Amino acid sequence: MDEQHPEAWRRQLQADWAANAGSPESRLIVSLYRLARLAHTRLPRGLRKPLIVLYRLVTYLVLHVELPPEAVIGGGLRVYHPHMIVLHPRAVLGRDVVLRHGVTIGITTGRDGTESRGPVIGDGVEFGAGAMVLGPVTVGRNARIGAGAIVLKDVPPGAVVAGNPASVLRIDPDALT
Ligand SMILES: CC(C)(COP(=O)(O)OP(=O)(O)OC[C@H]1O[C@@H](n2cnc3c(N)ncnc32)[C@H](O)[C@@H]1OP(=O)(O)O)[C@@H](O)C(=O)NCCC(=O)NCCS
């Protein structure tokens, strides 16, 4: 179903709520993102602009979590400890992704100002605290990114990666089924 279909939006929000059960602050963050995303994709410019400015003021400046309405994020987003999380607007996250405090998912910029595409994060990927994915990187589904890892290259599905620069510790066969 098209992400912009109201039914798809409702299901994503439901999945977000289920994923963040017991964590009202995380539910607040993901719900605000879903509303901002709805405004970004469905409202005319004149209406969406003030709403999105308000969203940015509250979530960026007060809560310090940047989930831009332009970023595509699948349903079931789990946010543990919603502090200091930064996503680039061109980042794409699949379903059931887990973020923790200090995660950055961003682009790289060349000396000439050329910007890379945003990272693409597969379904079920889990980020440890402070992990970063930088540049035109694809992270395969169900991969686990260790705390503090700096990911600069593609990560295969089911891989567990750690370190700076991140390297593959192992591939979990269970994560590939
Ligand atoms: C990467 C991770 C998923 C791996 O977990 P695991 O499969 O249980 O791995 P292990 O603990 O068996 O460690 C395997 C090896 O990787 C190393 N390692 C594990 N996590 C690491 C990390 N974040 N950075 C660097 N090395 C790491 C271990 O020291 C070990 O090395 P060794 O084989 O030389 O002894 C996990 O360590 C991690 O970082 N999880 C994130 C947790 C988190 O962010 N918690 C915050 C809660 S608020």
148 ligand 1 Cβ < 6 A: yes
CA of 146 to the centre of ligand 1 (A): 6
User: In ligand 1, which atom is closest to the CA atom of 130?
Assistant: 44
Distances (CA, A) of 20 to 13, 35, 44, 124, 153: 11, 16, 31, 14, 29
Q: Which of 64, 83, 88, 101 is catalytic?
A: 83
pLDDT single digits (tens) 47-99: 999 999 999 999 999 999 999 999 999 999 999 999 999 999 999 999 999 99
Asked if 102 and 85 touch (Cβ cutoff 8 Å), the reply is yes
CATH of domain 6-176: 2.160.10.10
pLDDT single digits (tens) 99-113: 999 999 999 999 999
pTM summary value: 0.96
83 is catalytic: yes
2: pLDDT strictly greater than 80: no
Q: How far apart are CA 86 and CA 89, in angstroms?
A: 10
Q: Whose CA is nearest to atom 2 of ligand 1?
A: 146
Per-domain residue ranges of the chain: 6-176
